Structure 1
Amino acid sequence: MDFSALADQYSEPVLAAFGALVIGVMFGAFAQKSRFCLRAAAVDFSRGNLTGKVAVWLLVFGTALAFTQLLSLTDLLNTKEARQLASPQSLSGAALGGLLFGSGMVLARGCASRLLVLSATGNLRALLSGLVFAVVAQASLHGFLSPLRNAIAGTLTSNAAGGNDLLEFTGLSTAGAILFSLLWFAAGTWFAWRNRTSLLVAAAAVVTGLTIPLAWWYTAQLSAIAFEPVQMTSLTFTGPSAKTLMHFLEATDLDFDVGLVPGVFLGSFLAAALSGELKLQGWNGGHSMRRYIAGAAMMGFGGMLAGGCAVGAGITGGSVFALTAWVTLGAMWLAAGVTDRLFDYGVEVGQVPAKDAGTELVGA
């Protein structure tokens, strides 16, 4: 792809937004097909069930890590330029934000990306939760919650640990990182085989994971030829959700973040339409609505505090081996298991308590 020729015809913001739209469509379509969801995987894992949902998450995670590091090994990507490694990050924010996000995604029955994917299929519960998530994320970034976020985030930063690059800390080479990543992929392949996960679902999970290094590569190419600054980035949904909300309210400038969320929505909608899975769903009672809103709010603040969501911190940040990303990811898994034990343990997947009649486990 000749980025220089494209840059002569279109501005960098337009190219960034368009690339995000295309990559977002890919992510939305294949995440919808694979049912990729950290909440579902974490809940099943905490219950001792190594199901197909765990397999899908591992396939996405392993693919994203391995191919991002492969790009680095072949000098197609300089991971040191990623925001997660190029600037100090908050360890305190990663830990507390990850815990809040992990609990919130269990209460809302889906992480931020899963809610976005589900909302495109007609799930009004996911749509409202996603809007609450975006509003609270924006309030945490620039609104009344910003001072609290800054205070927590400033408590302990990666500077105190001597940096944020796990590969430097461990002395692991890029080739070693690829082999480490392939262990996660191999585990996903094994669990997929053991659970008789269909080849189509497994392939969809792999393509979902490939969107992470694809976005890294695309934004790196733009950054190399851009006259205007373009941040090298990849998929995340906390900041982009807040920014997309403000774009539709105030018509802000285009960039990668603004193109991503509509792309994911469109991709999920098209995939659901082609497979006959479009269906309007809502609430029948107020109890579940309060739960969803509380969970979405926790994810909005927690995701902004941690510097990313289950995808942005957990997979995108993890793919460049950022210390704070792995702290966030571990905190999310831990909090999800504890919250499930407190609120949902003993309830079969798909079974609805009487007080929540009319709801479903949307992350499932």
Structure 2
Amino acid sequence: MTEPSDLSSMVVWGGFALAFIFGAVANKTNFCTMGAISDVVNMEHWGRMRMWLLAIAVAMIGTNLLFQLGLIDLSKSIYVRPSLPWLSLVLGGVIFGVGMTIAAGCVNKNLVRLGAGSLRSLVVLVFVAISAYMTLKGLFGQWRASYLDPVTLDLAQWGLAGQTLPQILAKLTGLAAQPALLASVAVLSLGLAAFALKDKRFRGNPVQWLGGVVLGLLIVAGWYLTGHLGHGESPETMEMVYFATNTRTLESFSFVAPTAFSLELLMLWTDQSLRVSFGIASAIGVVLGSLAYALASRQFRWEGFASMEDLRTQLLGAVLMGFGGVTALGCTVGQGMTGISTLAIGSFIVLAGIIGGAAATMHYQNWRA
């Protein structure tokens, strides 16, 4: 029987290893959701957007394959619960989209930039962490819990055990659960993959399409690590639990809340109740993976703020990302890839909010210029 400490260590070090690859690949391919949206809005160039969509398609197929094989139980994840806090998801997504545009990159991109030598990103991430922690447990959290989260749609009233597209499709059409799941995955994932791969230039760029495939597979690997390998019996309660995750259930990559937990661990290092989690290890892994690629490719260089105005803008964007990311239960990776892979309605709402908020901010910036 595997010891709990061994399971926790495996999840933490496994998360670090997967995130190390994520950071290196993201640096190599210039993977950036904000950049992908900007390319489409400002230049009508879809290369990075196609890479992101292909990664989502791969994550969707792999994640639901694990679920179908009984290797993970997605019904336990935070994304598919029948309670749908739609106001928090909409507002959080829009605010995060605005914040990442103002800060010229989402949390994942700033982790990658930090590994490549950006001290500006270090400051941004510290303020993201402070804002996220305030939204989890502080002043912002009181506002969120009092005014946003109570505005919730309880899907259980309609006999739904969760908020996934297959469950809703089965309810509306009378299909059995498995055919509804297969139909949903097939239509969405194959549609996204077909759109991404129909472009000849994209197919001719192996760095981008292979990068999309690898990033999607890493999301799947994160689910398998925390949801299968890290699922075991607790010696205290003798119940089956998920080890070394902040949500106490299965997770894959998400980077806003883990920055807050990382800051908390650094500030309260002697608190024996705090441990390095999958999320904290993954944030560190992205930075060091990006650093390894930057050093190997000789692209590492120190970078700071261009001006005082740049500093003010970046800090405002960081605060908005911290609040928006926690309120929306995830970021461009946490909801835009990990959450979407579960086919949760809430994740699609957040993703639409992020894209809408980012695009609107870019149009405003262009108008102002």
Q: What TM-score do you get using the length of structure 2 for normalisation?
A: 0.86
1:248-287 alignment, distance < 5 Å: 248-251=266-269, 252-287=274-309
Which of 94, 106, 115 aligns to 1:120? It is 115
Task: Give the corresponding residue for 1:214.
Answer: 221
Which of 112, 130, 142 aligns to 1:147? It is 142
The answer to whether the 8 Å contact 1:133/1:297 transfers is yes
The answer to whether the 8 Å contact 1:14/1:254 transfers is no
Find the aligned partners of 1:137 and 1:18 in 2 and give their Cα distance.
24
For 1:68, the aligned partner's letter is T
Find the aligned partners of 1:8 and 1:316 in 2 and give their Cα distance.
28
**Pair 280,13 (structure 1): closer, same or farther in 2 beyond 3 Å:** same
Deviation at 1:346, TM superposition (A): 8.9
**Pair 197,334 (structure 1): closer, same or farther in 2 beyond 3 Å:** farther
Q: Greater CA deviation, 307-316 or 218-227? A: 218-227
Task: Give the corresponding residue for 1:159.
Answer: 154
**Pair 345,31 (structure 1): closer, same or farther in 2 beyond 3 Å:** farther
Deviation at 1:218, TM superposition (A): 1.0
The answer to whether the 8 Å contact 1:25/1:267 transfers is yes
Secondary structure in structure 2 of the residue aligned to 1:164: coil
Aligned structure 1 segments of 4 or more residues deviating by more than 6 angstroms: none
The answer to whether the 8 Å contact 1:121/1:279 transfers is yes
Matched, 1:240 2:255: no
Which runs of 5 or more structure 1 residues have no equivalent in the other structure? 348-364
Task: Give the percent of matched residue pairs that are identical in Structure 1 and Structure 2.
Answer: 27
The answer to whether the 8 Å contact 1:13/1:254 transfers is no
Deviation at 1:75, TM superposition (A): 2.5
For 1:146, the aligned partner's letter is G
For 1:288, the aligned partner's letter is D
String of CA shifts for 1:57-99, please: whole Å, max 9, x gaps: 1122111112112222322222212121246342111000000
**Pair 195,18 (structure 1): closer, same or farther in 2 beyond 3 Å:** closer
Find the aligned partners of 1:143 and 1:130 in 2 and give their Cα distance.
18
Find the aligned partners of 2:230 and 2:206 in 1 and give their Cα distance.
36
Secondary structure in structure 2 of the residue aligned to 1:85: coil
Task: Give the corresponding residue for 2:27.
Answer: 32
Q: Greater CA deviation, 218-227 or 34-43? A: 218-227
Deviation at 1:320, TM superposition (A): 0.3
Find the aligned partners of 1:75 and 1:137 in 2 and give their Cα distance.
34
Deviation at 1:153, TM superposition (A): 3.0
Secondary structure in structure 1 of the residue aligned to 2:279: helix
1:41-60 alignment, distance < 5 Å: 41-47=36-42, 49-60=44-55
String of CA shifts for 1:290-323, please: whole Å, max 9, x gaps: 1111011101000010111111012111110111
**Pair 99,266 (structure 1): closer, same or farther in 2 beyond 3 Å:** same
1:9-24 alignment, distance < 5 Å: 10-24=5-19
Q: Greater CA deviation, 291-300 or 227-236? A: 227-236
The answer to whether the 8 Å contact 1:158/1:324 transfers is no
Deviation at 1:160, TM superposition (A): 5.3
1:194-343 alignment, distance < 5 Å: 194-195=201-202, 198-227=205-234, 229-230=241-242, 231-251=249-269, 252-343=274-365
Find the aligned partners of 1:51 and 1:212 in 2 and give their Cα distance.
22
The answer to whether the 8 Å contact 1:52/1:197 transfers is no
Aligned residues: 341
Task: Give the corresponding residue for 1:178.
Answer: 185
Deviation at 1:195, TM superposition (A): 4.8
Task: Give the corresponding residue for 2:175.
Answer: none
String of CA shifts for 1:191-248, please: whole Å, max 9, x gaps: 4x33576212321221111111111111111343242631211110111111011112
Secondary structure in structure 1 of the residue aligned to 2:184: helix
For 1:177, the aligned partner's letter is S
For 1:184, the aligned partner's letter is L
Deviation at 1:121, TM superposition (A): 0.3
String of CA shifts for 1:139-175, please: whole Å, max 9, x gaps: 1101121111112332422415854222211236222
Matched, 1:109 2:65: no
**Pair 273,342 (structure 1): closer, same or farther in 2 beyond 3 Å:** same
Cα root mean square deviation, aligned = 2.1
Which of 112, 129, 133 aligns to 1:134? It is 129
Q: What TM-score do you get using the length of structure 1 for normalisation?
A: 0.88
Secondary structure in structure 2 of the residue aligned to 1:225: strand
